[in-house]
Amino acid sequence: MARLLVLHGPNLNLLGSREPMLYGNTPLTAIDQALKLEAEALGHQIQSIQSNAEDKLVDAIQSAKKFNVDCILINPAAFTHTSIAIRDALLAVQIPTIEVHLTIPEAREPFRHTSLIADIVIGRIQGFGAFSYELALSAAHQFLQTQLLNEETR
């Protein structure tokens, strides 16, 4: 059983009502509930945290090491393009991380084209709306299974 941490950045608490033509109609609570059910079916524990505050996300990343989190799924939202603090926290804990986005940032405004964590994550899932999170969970599961197999064969 793996421990997974899902981090949702600023304004994602407004999913379902915020620009539904862009982000869809699925509220964050429904995304988190689906992830919880799927994680449990895969035999994993999962915790989801949403914050509009950069420091709270950094604190959650730093705490992940203490709580033996095996993988982080993060949608930094607007912090994707601005937060060196989130990048530094991810580098400090060295926990495998998957970057998640509902849309394709590179297909949007130019200021969204740069992710400050793209080069330090194990993968990026983007553009599939709320389903992006489920794809990220599946990718995390596969990554952790492969990692476990590699450790067993050593």
Catalytic residue annotation: 23, 101
Phi, psi for residue 91 in degrees, rounded to 5: -65, -40
DSSP state of 47: E
Phi, psi for residue 122 in degrees, rounded to 5: -80, -15
Q: Using an 8 Å Cβ cutoff, are 143 and 121 in contact?
A: no
Half-sphere exposure of 105 (CA within 13 A, CB side): 20
